[in-house]
C-alpha cells in the first residue's frame, strides 16, 4: 500500500482494520479505517494520505456509500465518527453550527429544544450524519426549494485533499461574501473535500403536519387527480405516488397518493379539504400520529438497499415534474416504485438487471435521466451509474483536477468517473 | 478644457483613431481632442473594433466617449472606470462572438445588466469592453405546469413577474431595484431583497443557465429537472461576473400567494423593535419579510415624495409581512399585534387593501433614494450579523457614528440581520471623508467580529474587495481563486473584483470610494 512509515498515520488517525459493521462499497472494504479525533488530526491524516497517494473515501454514517461508480482505488475510509457535537446553537438566529460527523438525529434532538428542525429525512436517517447528508445531497422526501441541503448549508469548514483547512460561506442566514462554494460541496460525494464543520439554517417546527392518503384503483385516475391538485392553490410540502406493492406495506390498498401538508393550522386544514374533494379517489383518509410516521418512514427508507439481496437494483429516474406520471406509466411493470411528482423523481427497486436500461431509455425519451443507485457489481462495471454526462462536464473535470490533482478523494466514483 | 458651441469640434471618429496601428498614436490623437475626451478606444485596435462591429452590427457598438460615459460606474457612483467600447448584443451567439474577439485580443470585458449594483461589480476596472445585455430582454418560453420560464438575462426583474402574472405566478427575488435591475445582474450578485427571508435569494430561483465562458464557448448548465454532477449553476450564481456571462436562464416561478398581510408597528426604541422581531420569529411561522427603519431614515423618507406615512417621531418602524391562506393571516395579524404592543409599540396597523400595502412599502423601497438628498455622497453598507445580536450591534454602530461625528441612518432586513447603514457625507470635505472612512471600516469589522459577514446581498465587487480578508484566510481565498481560474483562466472576465487587488488596505479602498463624486441614487 505504501512505501513510507505508516506509524505516524496510525497514531494520529486512530487507524484500525475494518469491522463487520463498517459499510462496504460494491462488496469491498478498504484495509484501513481512519477515525481522527479532531479536525486538526483529520488534517494531518489527510495530508499523510495525500503524500502517500492513498485513495481516501470520506465516510459519515456510511448510509449512502453504495451510490457511485466502482471505486478506481480504495485504500481507506476517512471517518467523521469522532467529529461530533453541536458547536453553537442560537434558536433566535435560525442557525446552528455542528461538527460534520454529528448524527442527524442528535442534531434534530438538540434543535427540538428550540422548537426547530432540519427538514431532512434521508434514507436510514437514524444512522446518517449531517456531513454525509450534505455530501450526498440527499435530503429525502422533502425537496422543495428552501428545504434542500443546498438551501440550508450557510457555510462550512473542510479539509482539502492535501489536508489544508479551508472555510467558505459564513454563519449568518444571508451572505454573498466570496464564491458560493457551499453549492459546490453539496452533492460532491466526497470527491472534492472532507467536511469537518458546517453552519446550517434551521426551520421552525411547523404548527401542523397533516398526512392524507388517497387510494385509487388504477394509475389513470390517480394522475388526473394529481394534476387537479397541482393546478390548484394547495401547496403540499410533499406529494408521493406509491405503487400497490409498497402501498401494502403501508396497509393501504391500490395506488396511493400520499400528501403531506406542513404549516399553520388554518392553511393546512384548508388544503386538506381540497385533497378530500379529489373527484376520482376511492377513499381519502387522514393518517394520524404513528400511522403517518410509519408511512413516511417507509418512503424515507425505500431507496436503501436490502441487505442480503445480491441482484437488487435501486433506480432513480429524473424527469420534469410534469412528466413524472408518464414515466411511472411506462415503468410500472418492472418493479416496486415510489415517485415524487413535484420533484420529478421516480425511485424503483427491482431484481431485473435489464431494468436500468429500460428506465434510462424511457426517461431519455422524456428528456430525462436515470441513475443506478445500487446494483450488482457486474452491472455497475458496464456503465456510468449516473447516466447522463451533464452540461459543463469539462468544467467539473477541471474543478476536480484543481481541488484534487492527485485523485485521492473517492477516485473514480463520481459522475463521469471523476 | 475649452468647450462651447463656437469652438466645438467633433471628437475623432472611431475609424480615424482605429486606423492608427500604434496604441501610443491612438492615445495621442485622443488626448488632443479639444472637447475633453474621458474615454477612448485606445486599448482596442482597428482589427478588434472591426471584429466587434462585425458581430453586433454598427448599431450595437458604442465607442464615442459621450456614449460610453454612462457605463463607467454602477449604483455605487463612487467607483468609476470608463470602458473603451460598449457592445449591445442581441443573442447568445453575438455575446459569444464578442467574448471570443476579446479573448483572442486579450482585452478585458465585463457583462452588465442595468448597472444598479451596489458594490462596483459591473464597472470595467481595467477598461476594455462592456457587454451590455439590455437588448436581450425577452421571456423566451413559459411552462405553467412546471412553473418555469426561460428568459434572456437582460430582462428586468419585475418584467418576469409582470409577464407571468396572468398565469397566477411570480418571480420571487425582489431587490429594491427590481423595477430596473436585470435578472443577469441578480444572478451575478445572487441578489436578495426583503422577501428572500422566506423565499431565499436568487440562487433558490434559478434552475439552469446558458453561459458564455470567458473563452467564448457556450455551455448549458443545469436542467429544469434534477440533474447530476457538481452544482455549477449554484456555483455560478453569485460569482459576480467573474466566471462568464449568463445569457439565458431557466427561472423558477412561484404561485402568487392567496393573500398578503402587511403590518406596521412603531416603537420608542430600536431595542424594543428588535425584541419584537425575536418574538415574531419565535412564533415558528416565517414571515415573508421583516424590515426595519430607524429615526434618521424615517425622517428622510417622510420628507420626500415617497412618504410611507410613517410617524415622524418614531425611533423605529417595523414592517412585517406574512403571506398564505387568508384565514391564517388574520390570526397572525392579531398575534403580531399583541407581540408588538407587549414590546412597547406605540402604534400598530395592518394594511386593509393593496393600496395601503403599497403605501407602507413605498417608503421602505424609496429609502435609499431619499438619502440622496441629504448630502452630495452616500455610502451604503451591507453587513450581516446574527439576528439576535442586532440590538447590541445597532447601538455600537450608533456609537461609532457619534465617535466620528457622522450620522448613520439604518434601514435593514431585520429578519435576517442584514444591515444597510447609510452614511451621507460631502466627499469634498476631506476631514468628513476621513471620518466616514474610519467609521465604515469599523462597522464592517464589527459585523465580522460578532460572527457576521461583510455583504449579505450586494456582493463584494470593487468596493469590498480589500475587506474580504476579514472573513477568509489566504487558504480560503486561494481556493476561491483556483475555482475562478477554472472558469476564467486568463482573468479577462471582469477583472479587479472580489479579491484584494494588493493595491492597498481597506482604508485605501474607501479612500478611492470617497474620492468619487455624485450622490448615490
Yes or no, beta carbons of B387 and A145 under 8 Å apart? no
Distance between B129 CA and the closest CA of chain A, angstroms = 24
Residue B455 pLDDT greater than 60, yes or no: yes
Residue B131 pLDDT greater than 50, yes or no: yes
Yes or no, beta carbons of A145 and B192 under 8 Å apart? no
A residues 178..207 contacting B (CB < 8 A): 178-184, 186-188, 192, 203-207
Identify the pLDDT of residue A6: 67
B230, B231, B414: best mutation site toward chain A, by most A Cβ within 10 Å? Answer: B230
Identify the pLDDT of residue B31: 54
Can you point out the beta strands (E) in B228-286? 245-252, 254-255, 259-267
Identify the pLDDT of residue A304: 92
Strongest mean pLDDT among A183-187, B4-8, B351-355, B509-513? A183-187
Tell me the average pLDDT of chain B: 88
Yes or no, beta carbons of B204 and A369 under 8 Å apart? no
Yes or no, beta carbons of B226 and A344 under 8 Å apart? yes
Give me the residue from B229, B324, B418 closest to A396, CB to CB.
Answer: B229
Distances (CA, A) of B184 to A294, B120, B485: 45, 15, 21
CB of A63 less than 8 A from some CB of B: no
Residues of chain A whose pLDDT is less than 70? 1-6, 8-9, 233, 332-333
Yes or no, beta carbons of B258 and A318 under 8 Å apart? no
Report chain A residues whose CB lies below 8 A from the CB of B233.
183
**C-alpha to C-alpha distance for B120 and A167, rounded to whole angstroms:** 25
Yes or no, beta carbons of A93 and B388 under 8 Å apart? yes
Q: Which residue has the cell 436578495?
A: B192
Classified as helix, coil or strand, A286 is strand
Identify the pLDDT of residue B14: 54
**C-alpha to C-alpha distance for A336 and A349, rounded to whole angstroms:** 5
Q: Please state the rounded mean pLDDT for residues B86-111.
A: 97
Residues B202-228 pLDDT 10s: 999 999 999 999 999 999 999 999 999
Distance between A212 CA and the closest CA of chain B, angstroms = 19
**C-alpha to C-alpha distance for B333 and B319, rounded to whole angstroms:** 12
Q: Report whether B439 contacts B423 (CB < 8 A).
A: yes
Residue A350, all three cell numbers? 427491482
**C-alpha to C-alpha distance for B91 and B243, rounded to whole angstroms:** 19
CB of A176 less than 8 A from some CB of B: yes
Identify the pLDDT of residue A1: 46
Q: Report whether A99 contacts A60 (CB < 8 A).
A: no
Yes or no, beta carbons of A402 and B203 under 8 Å apart? no
**C-alpha to C-alpha distance for A352 and A331, rounded to whole angstroms:** 13
Give me the residue from A145, A160, A318 closest to B225, CB to CB.
Answer: A318
Identify the pLDDT of residue A283: 87
Residue B63 pLDDT greater than 80, yes or no: yes
A residues 75..94 contacting B (CB < 8 A): 90-94
**C-alpha to C-alpha distance for B205 and B162, rounded to whole angstroms:** 16
ipTM of the complex: 0.97
Residues B137-168 pLDDT 10s: 999 999 999 999 999 999 999 999 999 999 99
First to last CA, chain B: 28
Yes or no, beta carbons of A392 and B221 under 8 Å apart? yes
**C-alpha to C-alpha distance for A314 and A352, rounded to whole angstroms:** 10
Identify the pLDDT of residue B30: 55
Identify the pLDDT of residue B301: 86
Yes or no, beta carbons of A391 and B221 under 8 Å apart? yes
Identify the pLDDT of residue B367: 84
**Residue B282: pLDDT band with limits 50, 70, 90:** confident
Distance between B14 CA and the closest CA of chain A, angstroms = 38
- Nearest Cα neighbor of B205 from B185, B232, B183, B221 is B183
- Give the helix ranges, DSSP H, for A277-315: 289-301
**DSSP letters of B270-318?**
HHHHHHHHHHHHHTT---SEEEEEEHHHHHHHHHSTT-----TT-SEEE
Q: Please state the rounded mean pLDDT for residues B233-261.
A: 96
Residue B301, all three cell numbers? 423618507
Identify the pLDDT of residue A286: 93
CB of A273 less than 8 A from some CB of B: no
Amino acid at each position: 500500500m505504501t512505501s513510507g512509515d505508516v506509524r505516524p498515520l496510525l497514531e494520529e488517525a486512530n487507524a484500525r482494520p475494518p469491522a463487520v459493521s463498517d459499510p462496504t462499497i460494491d462488496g469491498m472494504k478498504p484495509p484501513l479505517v481512519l477515525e481522527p479525533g479532531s479536525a486538526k488530526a483529520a488534517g494531518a491524516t489527510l495530508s499523510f494520505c495525500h503524500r502517500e497517494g492513498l485513495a481516501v473515501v470520506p465516510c459519515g454514517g456510511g448510509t449512502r456509500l453504495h451510490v457511485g461508480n466502482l471505486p478506481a482505488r480504495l485504500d481507506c475510509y476517512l471517518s467523521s465518527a469522532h467529529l461530533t457535537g453541536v458547536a453553537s446553537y442560537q434558536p433566535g438566529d435560525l442557525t446552528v453550527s455542528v461538527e460534520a460527523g454529528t448524527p442527524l438525529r442528535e442534531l434534530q434532538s438538540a434543535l427540538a429544544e428550540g422548537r426547530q428542525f432540519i427538514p431532512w429525512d434521508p434514507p436510514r436517517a437514524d444512522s446518517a450524519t449531517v456531513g454525509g447528508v450534505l455530501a450526498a445531497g440527499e435530503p429525502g422526501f422533502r425537496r422543495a426549494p428552501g428545504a434542500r441541503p443546498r438551501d440550508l448549508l450557510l457555510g462550512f469548514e473542510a479539509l482539502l485533499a492535501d489536508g489544508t483547512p479551508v472555510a467558505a460561506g459564513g454563519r449568518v442566514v444571508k451572505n454573498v461574501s466570496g464564491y458560493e462554494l457551499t453549492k459546490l460541496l453539496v452533492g460532491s460525494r466526497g470527491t472534492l473535500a472532507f467536511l469537518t464543520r458546517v453552519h446550517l439554517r434551521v426551520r421552525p417546527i411547523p404548527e401542523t403536519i397533516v398526512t392524507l392518503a388517497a387510494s385509487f384503483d388504477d394509475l389513470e385516475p390517480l394522475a388526473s387527480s394529481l394534476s387537479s391538485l397541482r393546478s390548484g392553490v394547495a401547496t403540499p410540502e410533499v406529494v408521493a405516488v406509491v405503487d400497490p406493492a409498497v402501498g401494502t406495506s403501508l396497509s393501504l390498498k391500490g395506488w396511493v397518493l400520499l400528501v403531506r401538508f406542513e404549516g399553520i393550522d388554518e392553511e393546512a386544514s384548508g388544503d386538506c379539504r381540497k385533497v378530500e374533494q379529489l373527484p376520482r379517489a376511492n377513499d381519502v383518509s387522514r393518517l394520524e400520529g404513528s400511522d403517518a410516521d410509519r408511512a413516511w418512514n417507509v418512503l424515507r427508507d425505500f431507496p436503501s438497499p436490502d441487505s442480503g439481496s445480491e441482484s437488487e437494483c435501486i433506480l432513480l429516474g429524473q424527469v420534469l415534474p410534469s412528466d413524472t406520471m408518464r414515466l411511472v406509466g411506462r415503468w410500472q411493470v418492472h418493479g416496486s416504485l415510489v415517485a415524487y411528482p413535484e420533484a420529478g423523481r421516480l425511485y424503483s427497486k427491482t431484481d431485473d438487471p435489464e431494468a436500468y436500461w429500460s428506465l434510462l431509455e424511457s426517461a431519455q425519451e422524456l428528456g430525462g435521466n436515470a441513475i443506478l443507485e445500487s446494483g450488482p457489481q457486474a452491472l455497475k462495471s458496464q456503465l456510468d451509474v449516473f447516466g447522463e454526462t451533464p452540461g459543463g462536464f469539462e468544467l467539473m473535470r477541471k474543478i476536480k483536477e484543481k481541488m484534487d490533482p492527485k485523485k485521492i478523494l473517492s477516485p473514480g466514483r463520481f459522475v463521469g468517473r471523476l | 478644457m475649452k468647450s462651447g458651441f463656437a469652438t466645438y469640434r467633433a471628437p475623432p471618429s472611431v475609424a480615424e483613431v482605429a486606423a492608427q496601428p500604434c496604441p501610443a498614436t491612438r492615445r495621442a490623437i485622443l488626448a488632443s481632442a479639444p472637447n475633453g475626451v474621458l474615454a477612448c478606444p485606445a486599448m482596442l485596435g482597428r482589427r478588434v473594433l472591426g471584429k466587434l462591429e462585425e458581430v453586433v452590427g454598427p448599431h450595437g457598438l458604442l465607442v464615442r466617449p459621450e456614449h460610453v460615459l454612462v457605463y463607467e460606474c454602477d449604483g455605487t457612483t463612487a467607483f468609476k472606470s470608463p470602458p473603451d467600447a460598449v457592445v449591445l448584443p442581441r443573442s447568445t451567439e453575438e455575446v459569444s462572438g464578442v467574448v471570443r474577439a476579446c479573448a483572442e485580443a486579450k482585452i478585458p470585458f465585463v457583462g452588465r445588466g442595468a448597472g444598479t449594483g451596489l458594490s462596483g461589480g459591473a464597472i470595467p476596472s481595467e477598461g476594455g469592453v462592456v457587454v451590455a445585455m439590455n437588448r436581450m430582454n425577452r421571456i423566451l418560453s413559459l411552462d405553467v405546469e412546471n412553473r418555469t420560464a426561460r428568459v434572456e438575462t437582460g430582462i428586468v426583474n419585475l418584467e418576469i413577474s409582470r409577464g407571468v402574472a396572468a398565469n397566477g405566478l411570480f418571480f420571487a427575488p425582489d431587490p429594491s431595484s427590481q423595477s430596473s435591475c436585470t435578472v443577469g445582474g441578480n444572478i451575478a450578485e445572487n441578489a436578495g431583497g426583503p422577501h428572500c427571508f422566506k423565499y431565499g435569494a436568487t440562487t433558490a430561483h434559478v434552475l439552469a443557465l446558458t453561459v458564455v465562458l470567458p473563452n467564448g464557448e457556450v455551455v448549458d448548465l443545469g436542467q429544469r429537472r434534477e440533474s447530476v454532477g457538481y452544482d455549477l449553476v449554484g456555483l455560478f450564481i453569485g460569482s459576480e461576473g467573474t466566471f462568464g456571462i449568463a445569457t439565458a436562464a431557466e427561472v423558477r416561478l412561484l404561485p402568487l400567494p392567496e393573500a398578503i398581510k402587511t403590518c406596521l408597528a412603531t416603537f420608542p426604541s430600536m431595542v424594543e423593535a428588535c425584541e419584537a422581531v425575536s418574538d415574531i420569529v419565535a412564533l415558528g411561522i416565517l414571515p415573508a419579510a421583516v424590515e426595519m427603519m430607524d429615526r434618521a431614515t424615517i425622517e428622510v423618507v417622510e420628507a420626500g415624495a415617497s412618504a410611507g406615512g410613517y410617524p415622524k417621531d418614531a425611533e423605529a418602524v417595523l414592517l412585517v409581512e406574512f403571506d398564505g391562506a387568508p384565514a391564517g393571516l388574520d390570526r397572525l395579524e392579531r398575534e403580531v399585534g399583541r407581540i408588538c404592543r407587549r414590546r412597547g409599540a406605540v402604534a400598530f396597523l395592518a394594511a386593509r387593501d393593496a393600496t395601503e400595502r403599497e403605501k407602507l412599502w413605498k417608503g421602505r423601497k424609496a429609502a435609499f433614494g431619499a438619502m440622496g438628498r441629504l448630502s452630495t455622497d452616500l455610502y451604503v453598507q451591507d453587513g450581516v450579523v446574527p439576528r439576535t445580536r442586532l440590538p447590541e450591534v445597532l447601538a455600537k454602530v450608533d456609537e461609532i457614528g457619534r465617535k466620528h461625528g457622522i450620522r448613520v441612518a439604518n434601514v435593514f432586513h431585520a429578519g435576517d440581520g442584514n444591515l444597510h447603514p447609510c452614511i451621507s457625507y460631502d466627499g469634498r470635505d476631506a476631514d468628513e471623508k476621513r471620518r466616514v472612512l474610519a467609521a465604515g471600516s469599523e462597522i464592517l469589522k464589527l459585523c465580522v467580529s460578532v460572527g457576521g459577514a461583510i455583504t449579505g446581498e450586494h456582493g463584494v465587487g470593487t468596493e469590498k474587495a480589500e475587506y474580504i480578508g476579514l472573513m477568509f484566510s489566504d487558504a480560503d481565498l486561494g481556493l476561491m481563486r483556483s475555482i475562478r481560474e477554472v472558469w476564467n483562466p486568463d482573468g479577462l472576465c471582469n477583472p479587479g473584483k472580489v479579491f484584494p487587488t494588493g493595491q492597498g488596505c481597506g482604508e485605501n479602498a474607501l479612500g478611492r470610494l470617497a474620492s468619487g463624486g455624485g450622490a448615490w441614487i
